[in-house]
Structure 1
């Protein structure tokens, strides 16, 4: 089921619900700027340094890739109705960088609800786990993760 409605609360979320996000093309200057400030390993900053590694050329930091996911995902959830009931994240059960992301790659992905549970102590929220998969332009998986988020219940909307 594709979610394209307004105000999606915990009670509305179903296992298997899917949200698609992207595309976004990775910009070389942004890759280097991000790495310069947050992950200044040589293979994120210089083609020459990256050539001496398995990357072969400048590759985006995994943390930058995760930030690009957030940008694409939030852009979509603000259109789909998921944002209104979001209460933020509480963690990530799994995070894997599956292959390098390079400047010029065009990324897109999916978020699929895989688990949900009502809070026993906070009736105004429920917990939702999703499986995130992000792909490059060749539909090769570049990132997978399972974030855990809090979602407002209809009780909590008052």
Structure 2
């Protein structure tokens, strides 16, 4: 396993530090068959995630990582690239997997702030929408995540 993820910015991000259009790019995470099978054996034990031959005979045409494995890697890379103050507090997501993630993929995420909606009832916080694409080493999308999260201004409770 190779993991070169590191925050692009060492500060902690508050609401006033971001704007619509801001983009965050993560480090990388290299996958291999052992990681795919290990995750699948614990959390998604389906044949096409556990065995190359079963994967070959499936819709995927080869060993494929669980979408939930891709989502977990995405979360790790996203949190490192966009270190949100007080943590990432999710309020809903839209998640799609356009193509399977493979053992040879080296993943990174590119996240873009698409909307900021200040709270009317709670000053100092807002609902922030971010589109996060998980791309392999060829720039091919493996996952698209649109997440809504609560974000706080400095000094907000």
TM-score with structure 2 length normalisation?
A: 0.87
SS at 1:146's partner residue? strand
Structure 1 spans left out of the alignment, 5+ residues: none
CA distance in 2, matches of 1:140, 1:132: 13
Alpha-carbon spacing, 1:126–1:52, altered in 2? closer, same or farther (3 Å):
same
Q: Aligned-pair distance for 1:155? A: 4.0
Is the Cα–Cα contact under 8 Å of residues 22 and 73 in structure 1 kept in the other structure? no
Question: Offset of 1:38 from its aligned partner?
Answer: 1.2
Q: Report the structure, 1 or 2, having the larger helix content.
A: 1
Distance 1:114 1:99 in 2: 23
CA distance in 1, matches of 2:154, 2:54: 53
The residue correspondences of 1:1-158 to structure 2 (distance < 5 A) are 4=9, 6-77=11-82, 82-92=83-93, 94-156=94-156
CA distance in 2, matches of 1:14, 1:115: 8
Provide the C-alpha distance between the structure 2 equivalents of 1:43 and 1:25, rounded to a whole number of angstroms: 20
Q: Kindly report structure 1 stretches of 4+ aligned residues shifted beyond 2 Å.
A: 3-8, 82-87
TM-superposed deviation, 1:137: 1.1
Aligned to 2:3: none
How far did residue 121 of structure 1 move?
2.0
TM-superposed CA distance for 1:5, in Å, is 6.2
1:115-140, CA deviations, whole angstroms, 9 ceiling, x for partnerless residues? 01111222232110011111111111
Higher mean C-alpha displacement, 4-13 vs 56-65: 4-13
Q: Determine the C-alpha separation between the residues in 2 that align with 1:83 and 1:115.
A: 16
**SS in structure 1 of the partner of residue 72 of structure 2:** helix
